[in-house]
């Protein structure tokens, strides 16, 4: 009975977050526009040489994705902190980490999923080989949820702080480095015809670890921030 109740509350909160996010479409478009601008600046700066763009395509897409994802993290808990509903979530009879996961999932659906579609579309303009399309999709599907999960902890620590955006970037960007290295390595190995199992296993392990630990860490960070 408790599980059904928690699942129902999780679903209601997820729907609420998605509806609120769709009402503030400008906040959703800013990271995508930033991603588009960063990626398109490289062909303009380096020239339309296909071979040169093909060599840097994977790194450009992933670096732009890391930077763009950091822009949308601030909206994860900000509105709830400002209207007081964040305290109600933490005081709820339901497990707080379950409700936090609903907000993280909503954040990924609103920002991470569109970023994947944009990345795959822009990869054609950078002449990314077709053999790298599926590995790129796999790494993004594994990596973008980690952005939201790790980012939720840092966002919880900085929510409501003046100038918290800069502090948030300083906290999360170093944590994204292993993810960036292995994701780019996986796609580059796929282009060269090498196995990418090791990189995908590592990214999968990071995702499982983040799913296991970050909800509790985020909840604890929110309690500390609101205490």
Task: For the chain, give the secondary structure using H, E and C.
Answer: CHHHHHHHHHHHHHHHHHHHHHHCHHHHHHHHHHHHHHHHHHHHHHCCCHHHHHHHHHHHHHHHHHHHHHHHHHHCCHHHHHHCHHHHHHHCCCCHHHHHHHHHHHHHHHHHHHHHHHHHHHHHHCCCCHHHHHHHHHHHHHHHHHHHHHHHHHHHHHCCCCCHHHHHHHHHHHHHHHHHHHHHHHHHHHHCCCCCHHHHHHHHHHHHHHHHHHHHHHHHHHHHHHC
Q: Measuring CA to CA, which residue among 43, 67, 57, 38 is closest to residue 190? A: 57
Give pLDDT, residue 163: 63
Predicted pLDDT of residue 1:
39
Of the candidates 120, 11, 6, the residue with the CA atom closest to the CA atom of residue 65: 120
pLDDT recorded at residue 4: 54
Q: Which domain holds residue 197?
A: 2-226
Place of tokens 């590995």: 135
pLDDT digits (tens, 9 = 90+) for 206-217: 999 999 999 999
For 71, phi then psi, to 5°, come to -70, -30
Using CA atoms, how far residue 129 sits from 59, 99, 193, 222, in Å, is 14, 41, 12, 44
Give the count of domains, the chain: 1
Residues of the chain falling short of pLDDT 50 = 1-2
> Which pLDDT score is estimated for 124?
86
Tokens representing 205 are 């392990």
């Amino acid at each position: 009975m408790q599980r059904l109740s928690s699942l129902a509350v999780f679903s209601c909160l997820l729907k609420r977050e998605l509806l609120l996010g769709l009402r503030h479409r400008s906040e959703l478009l800013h990271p995508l526009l930033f991603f588009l601008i960063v990626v398109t600046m490289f062909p303009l700066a380096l020239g339309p040489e296909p071979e040169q763009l093909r060599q840097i395509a994977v790194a450009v897409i992933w670096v732009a994705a890391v930077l763009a994802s950091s822009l949308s993290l601030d909206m994860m808990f900000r509105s709830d902190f400002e209207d007081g509903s964040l305290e109600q979530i933490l005081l709820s009879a339901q497990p707080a980490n379950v409700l936090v996961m609903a907000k993280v999932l909503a954040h990924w659906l609103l920002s991470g999923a569109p970023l994947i579609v944009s990345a795959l579309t822009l990869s054609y303009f950078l002449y990314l080989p077709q053999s790298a399309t599926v590995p790129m999709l796999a790494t993004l599907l594994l990596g973008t949820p980690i952005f939201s999960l790790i980012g939720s902890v840092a966002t919880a620590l900085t929510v409501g702080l003046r100038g918290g955006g800069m502090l948030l970037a300083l906290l999360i960007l170093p944590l994204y480095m292993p993810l960036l290295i292995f994701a780019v390595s996986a796609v580059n190995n796929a282009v060269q015809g090498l196995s990418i199992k090791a990189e995908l296993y590592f990214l999968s392990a990071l995702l499982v670890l983040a799913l296991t630990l970050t909800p509790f860490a985020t909840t604890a960070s929110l309690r500390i921030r609101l205490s």
